[in-house]
Structure 1
Amino acid sequence: MNKLTSTFVTLLVLFVLFIASILLNDSLLSNMRIDLTENKVYSLSEGSSKVISEIEEPINLYFFFSDTATKGMVGLRNYADQVQSLLETYSAESQGKIRLHIIDPKPFSEDEDRAAAFGLTGAQLGMMGDAIYFGLAGTNSLDDQKVIGFFDPQQEQFLEYEISKLVYQLAEPRLPVVALVTDLPVDGMQNPMTGRFEPPLTFYTQLQQLYDVTVVSAASESLPENTDLVLMAHATNINESLRFAIDQHVMSQGKLVVFADPYYESSTMGMPGEASDLSLLNDWGIVINEKIVLDPQLGLDIRGPQGGVIRHPGILGVSAEQIDSSDIVTANMDTINVASAGHISLKENSELNLIPLMQTSSFANVINNEDMMATQNPSDLSQLISEEGSIYTLAARVSGTLTSAYADSEDTSTITASQNANILLIADADLLLDRFWVQQSNFFGQTVYSPFANNGDLVINAVDNLSGSASLISVRSRGTFSRPFNKVEELEVQAQSRFREQEERLQNQLLETEQKLAELQNQQIDATSMMISPEEQAAIDNFIEQRIQIRQALREVRFELQRDIDALGNRLKVINIAVSPLLLTFALLAVARLLRRRAVATPKAGDAQ
């Protein structure tokens, strides 16, 4: 066999092996994946896997993405590929319990009508004004429907949580039972001061639309059966039997939402300043300090006693800078208004973990309840603030091993500890009242809510997060799929710094020139000719020349920036297109040569003689 024939046979064998490996991969290895990304953006967390394993009846997921109408939208299409890949991972891991349907709802098609029927959002992003669909709809065997109206790329880190929540809601269609332990007039009441009937609180109305809510007064002796989550909202003087029931529920379920106020100033019955019952939290090693937080930086403007507008350091508008955007409960919140709030900490030697969700600025101080009650004028409160402030935690997530307040009970049926406690604490209850976050108006017989703060979102997110299974709560925030070009950004920052230096120089020279012109104009001008003097003309010419030179310098810096970026891009292209394949080729040739030498060096069986 000559050399040419041998090469042809080798290439043919390699081609056959290549085709066979593809067929083998499709038939046997299609469900096997290795996620090599830094943040594991293509794999599921343990919580999502647990949610999938608990599915009993098949679930259908319909992924609608306008593939045809998004030609040229590179960023959106890349994110859609990521979402589809993640959905395929759900389907593959479910072993047939999740049936994924990928649909391109073309304009004026039945698929588009189907997307609209599910209630998906059609964004007007297309070149021809066509609606772009990029959402997920799910159904179960009971014909329940859940949807994600539109996958927002800005919410990428919560992508897995949202999908897992949809799957969980379809697998467990029963509405969560929420026990609202409170002394607030959530159902509405007649105001004893004005005689007018006040409507139900908006946060309570919203909860009723989403959950099976039962109001439990602090004087009650037990919780409703099948309670999934306890929400304590300014409960005072809790009955001992109810206190024990709450403790045992948290020990068994590990979940609790608390709005506890050391100084509830919105009471309509008597004097303000009533505190929530904090004894159970104290027994657990959680401290909501009874001192009131004042923050001159976050204080909101209110109408003062004299009718003017004055800043109140005790009524705070906590902005996005002080809110944890990485937690699903407080993500994408701009403002949360609180009043006379306390602050949260743990007792020494506590085994719990505290993660702040909402904090004050570094200028905050604390004062005693008595001082707060005795001071009616906000200006007087400002006098109590020292120059040296601190940062205080207004809301937090507490997790870890929680010991029961009744751990020493002789009753053997008492649960003494919870290993995976997850408690959301907010050191204020005034924020639940409508006047701090929402306005109600009547529009043709219907009540319209116009929120001006995210207080209601905080309540709904907290209940939504903790009313699901422990597996769903544990779903991690995903990493970001897109990776920045750090070197390019570094080059841009350096160039911008040089631009700023040039611009400052230009501004300084401009100021000096204008001063020079002002001095010249103050001098006597030839009244007969009204001609510009030679000195003024020289100054103007000098300024024009300087401006031209600096603009040339700015263009040169911009050119150098682009040249550095282009050079970096060219180097990467050379490495990816030429160097990497060459290195791989040389490596394969070296391995082949080594194998050939070993084959030659190995004696054949007949050559032993």
Structure 2
Amino acid sequence: MKKLHRRSLPLLALVLLALAFVAAVALSSVLLRGARLDLTDKGLYTLSEGTLRILDKIEEPVTLKLYYSEHASRDFQQFRVFAARVRELLEEIAARSGGKVKLEVIDPLPFSEAEDQAAAYGLQAVPLDSAGQKLYFGLVGSNSTDGESLMPFIQPDKEAFLEYDVAKLLSTLSADRLPVVGLISGLPTGPRLDPVTGRASPGWVVDRQIAELFELRRLQDYPTSIAEDVDLLMLVHPRELPEDTLYAIDQFLLRGGRLLAFVDPDAEADVGGVDPLDPLSGAEPRPSDLSRLFDGWGIQFDPARVVLDEKHALQVQPDPGGAPVRHLAVIGLDAAALNQDDVVSGDLERLHFSTAGALGLGKESTLQMEPLAQSSAASALADARAVRDAAANPDRLREDFRPGGNALVLAARFSGELSSAFPERADREGHLARSVEPVNMIVVADTDVLSDRLWVQVRDFLGQPVYNAFANNGDFVYNAVDNLVGNADLIAVRTRASAQRPFEKVEALRRAAEQRYRAKEQQLQQQLDELERKLEALQQAGADGQAVAVTAEQQAEILRFQDERLRTRRELREVQHRLNADIEALGNRLKLINILGMPALVVLAALALAWRRWTRRRAAAEG
């Protein structure tokens, strides 16, 4: 009986452990409901503080409808992984909202009512095949007062801005009015009478876009105060502003307003005293500056110096009958020169600038500068007057051009605590000596970036304007306005890391292999090219098109060259195969670890446990 009792003890222990496990799971589902632990490398599943504050401020329930064609995407595994990532983020937002955000996931099957709803909302469908199969992956948000906002198609290449876009959608549903953008402009950006044609002009495209999406309030006659309901103050080419206006701008920023400023060492669109048909024609530079404010805030900008960039110089045609030439002061920046971690510039592919200046930060400044657009290291600063004088012959700029070796900042975000640039006005009623909260402003050292000629062609089609953009200047300006008019919580939403994890070890092996074998590959390729030329020279026809008699020595030389060519090609193939040898070896090692590693660990653990039990039994028997 005692022996039977001993045998039943392990079985009883297993039963008790199983019951304890079930009880622990049941209790955890109740006691730890909503608890989460994010162990990912970059916090992929942790919401930003800005998103959490936006969720806390939601006053009326919001419904998020994610239209996802799960059935249609069954053959696109990579997209399904991204879709799961989006769904997990939305589920996390709903879980952290305290019941104020409800998530619905809908599969709009073909010819279903859900598909009709998705189309009615304006969601974009991507055709997958000729049979009419479509992929929907859009988000619709709605509140209890019939307010709606949507993301027509959630693109995988914009994963870094996914949380920002969702937070913006939620913030938009909570807003009860259009944001107000106050504009002080020294350039004719808005509707006006065109001095060239004598006809009414609707204004620049960026001006029209801002007016369509926001309440654009044009501030005239040098205002001495900025209204409380202005969310963003936009300064374009601020020339010779009175001190009272500068003081109003200073106090607006310190009390929590946002600022978007476009200054320029040579505003080519400022046609005062300049031939409008040739804005670069020999006139004096027309700079703009906010020196009183910039000096007080610790922002560096020289209105007499223009950035020249050899790497990013664009072609211009100063002479209509001549050939295009590269103009060092007309710069086209690609995605690599733009800040990919900031929502304003991260999704852009190309920005065009012309006679732009450079921005910096003083050593005593309390601000932080985050560059949004930078020149290459092959750039330098030149006198604005010299750039104007070289308008007809841009090659003159290369004569004294010496690259400085450092990138120059053309556009930047400035943020942080700030003191007033007018400390002498401290005795004024209501004067703010310091910012009530960290300021947030964007400064661009160019105004021509706004002009149509640098980024868009406008044509008329049946009485409606059609825009053909060849650069992302308009997107940049819209992103800056859209970001700054948002509340501080939305601006605080961080750019998320991509869920795609690069194989860093594989890339390192690839680079090392290329360094080892590339030189040999190039040497063999050069030998092969030389052999091809020699063979061609030996086998070429005569001048009259007739075949030339080949001597025995030449025949032997041809055979030797052919044999050597075959050997060289074989060596070249072997070198090219060895380029991936280390990577393949790493893959084989990983396969062995995956296939044998875990079973080996289990076997070792079982052997260790068996050894322990055997030693205990032996000790008990000996005792």
Matched, 1:110 2:110: no
CA shift for structure 1 position 440: 0.8
Query: Partner residue of 1:321?
Result: 336
Q: Return the alpha-carbon distance in structure 1 between the equivalents of residues 236 and 310 of structure 2.
A: 27
The correspondence for 2:562, drawn from 540, 545, 560, is 540
Matches within 5 A, 1:189-268: 189-217=192-220, 219-268=222-271
Change (3 A) 1:339 1:544: closer
Q: Conserved in 2, the CA contact under 8 Å of 1:69 and 1:126?
A: no
Matched, 1:421 2:421: no
Query: Partner residue of 1:574?
Result: 596
Query: Partner residue of 1:134?
Result: 137
Q: Return the alpha-carbon distance in structure 1 between the equivalents of residues 125 and 265 of structure 2.
A: 46
Q: Return the alpha-carbon distance in structure 2 between the equivalents of residues 520 and 200 of structure 1.
A: 69
What is the TM-score with the length of structure 2 in the denominator?
0.87
The correspondence for 2:302, drawn from 267, 283, 289, is 289
Query: Partner residue of 1:461?
Result: 479
Aligned-partner SS, 2:139: strand
Superposed CA RMSD in Å reads: 3.2
Query: Partner residue of 1:514?
Result: 532
CA shift for structure 1 position 57: 0.6
Query: Partner residue of 1:447?
Result: 465
Q: Conserved in 1, the CA contact under 8 Å of 2:458 and 2:467?
A: yes
The correspondence for 2:15, drawn from 12, 17, 20, is 12
Q: Return the alpha-carbon distance in structure 1 between the equivalents of residues 41 and 167 of structure 2.
A: 21
The correspondence for 2:187, drawn from 170, 181, 184, is 184
Query: Partner residue of 2:365?
Result: 350
Mean Cα deviation higher: 433-442 or 128-137? 128-137
Q: Return the alpha-carbon distance in structure 2 between the equivalents of residues 244 and 557 of structure 1.
A: 64
The correspondence for 1:392, drawn from 405, 408, 412, is 408
Q: Return the alpha-carbon distance in structure 1 between the equivalents of residues 357 and 166 of structure 2.
A: 36
Aligned-partner SS, 2:255: helix
CA shift for structure 1 position 564: 3.8
Matched, 1:330 2:345: yes
CA shift for structure 1 position 529: 11
CA shift for structure 1 position 430: 1.6
Query: Partner residue of 1:146?
Result: 149
Q: Return the alpha-carbon distance in structure 2 between the equivalents of residues 269 and 481 of structure 1.
A: 52
Aligned-partner SS, 1:62: strand
2:452 is matched by which residue type in structure 1? D
Q: Conserved in 1, the CA contact under 8 Å of 2:188 and 2:203?
A: yes
Q: Conserved in 1, the CA contact under 8 Å of 2:124 and 2:152?
A: yes
1:165 is matched by which residue type in structure 2? K
1:44 is matched by which residue type in structure 2? L
Q: Return the alpha-carbon distance in structure 1 between the equivalents of residues 576 and 401 of structure 2.
A: 48
Q: Conserved in 2, the CA contact under 8 Å of 1:341 and 1:394?
A: yes
Query: Partner residue of 1:86?
Result: 89
Q: Return the alpha-carbon distance in structure 2 between the equivalents of residues 135 and 259 of structure 1.
A: 35
2:286 is matched by which residue type in structure 1? E
Q: Conserved in 1, the CA contact under 8 Å of 2:50 and 2:493?
A: yes
CA shift for structure 1 position 591: 11
Aligned length: 596
CA shift for structure 1 position 456: 0.8
Change (3 A) 1:280 1:551: closer
Q: Return the alpha-carbon distance in structure 1 between the equivalents of residues 411 and 377 of structure 2.
A: 16
Q: Return the alpha-carbon distance in structure 2 between the equivalents of residues 312 and 539 of structure 1.
A: 49
Mean Cα deviation higher: 218-227 or 316-325? 218-227
Matched, 1:299 2:287: no
The correspondence for 2:419, drawn from 390, 403, 415, is 403
Q: Return the alpha-carbon distance in structure 2 between the equivalents of residues 416 and 361 of structure 1.
A: 38
Q: Conserved in 2, the CA contact under 8 Å of 1:192 and 1:269?
A: no
CA shift for structure 1 position 288: 1.9
Q: Conserved in 2, the CA contact under 8 Å of 1:218 and 1:236?
A: no
Change (3 A) 1:581 1:173: farther
Query: Partner residue of 2:393?
Result: 378
Aligned-partner SS, 2:253: helix
**Structure 1 unaligned residues grouped into runs of 5+:** 601-609
Q: Conserved in 1, the CA contact under 8 Å of 2:232 and 2:259?
A: yes
Q: Conserved in 2, the CA contact under 8 Å of 1:363 and 1:391?
A: yes
Mean Cα deviation higher: 302-311 or 325-334? 302-311
CA shift for structure 1 position 4: 4.1
Q: Conserved in 2, the CA contact under 8 Å of 1:407 and 1:415?
A: no
Query: Partner residue of 1:368?
Result: 383
Q: Conserved in 1, the CA contact under 8 Å of 2:318 and 2:391?
A: no
Mean Cα deviation higher: 429-438 or 47-56? 429-438
Percent identical residues: 35
1:445 is matched by which residue type in structure 2? G
CA shift for structure 1 position 149: 1.8
Change (3 A) 1:375 1:488: closer
Change (3 A) 1:423 1:5: same
Q: Return the alpha-carbon distance in structure 2 between the equivalents of residues 591 and 236 of structure 1.
A: 86
Change (3 A) 1:18 1:106: farther
Change (3 A) 1:349 1:31: same
Aligned-partner SS, 1:246: helix
Q: Conserved in 2, the CA contact under 8 Å of 1:126 and 1:132?
A: no
1:566 is matched by which residue type in structure 2? N
Mean Cα deviation higher: 130-139 or 579-588? 579-588
2:431 is matched by which residue type in structure 1? T
Q: Conserved in 2, the CA contact under 8 Å of 1:287 and 1:346?
A: yes
Q: Alpha-carbon deviations, 1:441-491, whole Å to 9, x = none?
A: 111111111111111111100011111111110111112212122233334
Q: Return the alpha-carbon distance in structure 2 between the equivalents of residues 276 and 579 of structure 1.
A: 72
Aligned-partner SS, 1:69: coil
CA shift for structure 1 position 554: 4.8
Change (3 A) 1:177 1:382: same
Q: Return the alpha-carbon distance in structure 1 between the equivalents of residues 57 and 614 of structure 2.
A: 54
Q: Conserved in 1, the CA contact under 8 Å of 2:353 and 2:449?
A: yes
The correspondence for 2:32, drawn from 8, 18, 29, is 29
Q: Alpha-carbon deviations, 1:186-207, whole Å to 9, x = none?
A: 3222233543433311101101
**Structure 2 unaligned residues grouped into runs of 5+:** 275-282
Q: Return the alpha-carbon distance in structure 1 between the equivalents of residues 557 and 325 of structure 2.
A: 55
Q: Return the alpha-carbon distance in structure 2 between the equivalents of residues 179 and 523 of structure 1.
A: 78
What is the TM-score with the length of structure 1 in the denominator?
0.89
Q: Conserved in 2, the CA contact under 8 Å of 1:506 and 1:550?
A: yes
Query: Partner residue of 1:604?
Result: none
Change (3 A) 1:173 1:127: farther
Q: Conserved in 2, the CA contact under 8 Å of 1:183 and 1:218?
A: no
Query: Partner residue of 1:44?
Result: 47
CA shift for structure 1 position 184: 2.1
Q: Return the alpha-carbon distance in structure 2 between the equivalents of residues 365 and 552 of structure 1.
A: 46
Q: Alpha-carbon deviations, 1:266-320, whole Å to 9, x = none?
A: 2233246333241323332222211222233323222224731232222222232
Change (3 A) 1:25 1:144: same
